Amino acid sequence: MIYSAVQKKDENDHDVDIEIKFNVGDVRRVLDLGDSDDDPTIVPERLCKGLWFRMGFTEHVNGKYPKSMFSRPYKFLVHCVLHALSHRKGAYDEPPDYIMNIITCLVLNRPYNKVLFDHMVDNIRGEKYIMYPRFIQMLIDDQVTDLPKDPADEMNLRHMKSDTLSRLSKYKGLKKDEPEPRAKRMICKIENRNYVVPENDAWRHENSNSEDETDRLSGMNEKKLRYWFVKDGKRKRTPKASPTVTAPKVTPKIVVKGIIERGSYKRRILL
């Protein structure tokens, strides 16, 4: 559970603190995620990479997985998920392991669980950039319905510009005199919204007539990263690679204070 408070004016124009608290259940309810505690939080690495090869990824199984090595439709899919759900402030060329998990679950219509709440908790370390600000605002609005808004503080959506679309339209995996690979057709839930997920951690049904990726996976070395590896019932955590971001020195209009609680551990936070 994350405990916080927002400051607002009462009927006498005095500043008062309004307590708010939310857990993973509130996140999935307010954002209408449709997951549950019974859903998995990781996807087998072999399943994930097998599906990415099926979507047309062209590099080696043990190499990096940049979005530029996809044909244009799937490159656009990876780009959108990275910008919408990544906890990074930059470096959007190569998706981290959990983004590969999310995309795999989206394409295969598999259940997936609580990655957003995990990153909200991980990001509370003293004074810090607020992760998923739109989602947090939705959680606040759910509990404090009459909280005043300052139009100057609104975070406007930025539409894609022509230079972004131009970069997305280029395939960068070409060698000299090598033609661009033919774009893979749409598969799984992208093609059919009622697609039924294959059983036994497979990335295709047995009667699928598309190419087989088994040979490309034969030399795979497991990376044992955070969202692909479970040891003794606990996730193995890896150090964060995101760069430090220095926020501008301005006086905030809304002060959020609270406590993050894990079992017997508590820490007071200021955002």
Write the pLDDT tens digit of every residue in 174-186.
666 677 666 678 8
* For residue 254, pLDDT beyond 70: no
| Residue 163, pLDDT score | 80
| Residue 107, pLDDT score | 94
| Residue 19, pLDDT score | 93
* For residue 259, pLDDT beyond 60: no
Residue bearing the bigger pLDDT, 86 or 253: 86
- Structure tokens given for 30: 């307010």
36 contact partners, CB below 8 Å, separation of at least 6: 28, 111, 113
The set of long-range contacts for 15-20, using a CB threshold of 8 Å and a minimum separation of 24, is 17/257, 18/143, 18/144, 18/147, 20/139, 20/140, 20/143, 20/144, 20/258
* For residue 136, pLDDT beyond 80: yes
- Structure tokens given for 182: 């033919």
pLDDT in tens, 150-173: 778 776 767 778 887 777 777 676
Share above pLDDT 70 across residues of the chain, in percent, rounded to a whole number: 74
Q: Report which of 150, 94, 103, 116 is spatially closest to residue 30, judged by C-alpha positions.
A: 116
The answer to whether 55 and 70 have CB atoms below 8 angstroms apart is: yes
| Residue 147, pLDDT score | 83
Where residue 224 falls (left for φ over 0; alpha for ψ -120 to 50; beta otherwise) is left
| Residue 128, pLDDT score | 59
Integer Cα distance of 231 and 33 in angstroms: 27
Mean pLDDT within 4-24:
89
Mean pLDDT within 18-33:
92
Mean pLDDT within 29-49:
88
| Residue 162, pLDDT score | 81
| Residue 197, pLDDT score | 92
| Residue 226, pLDDT score | 65
User: Which of the four pLDDT bands, split at 50, 70 and 90, describes residue 106?
Assistant: very high
Q: Which of 16-25, 86-95, 227-236 is modeled with the greatest confidence? A: 16-25
| Residue 232, pLDDT score | 40
User: Which of the four pLDDT bands, split at 50, 70 and 90, describes residue 129?
Assistant: low
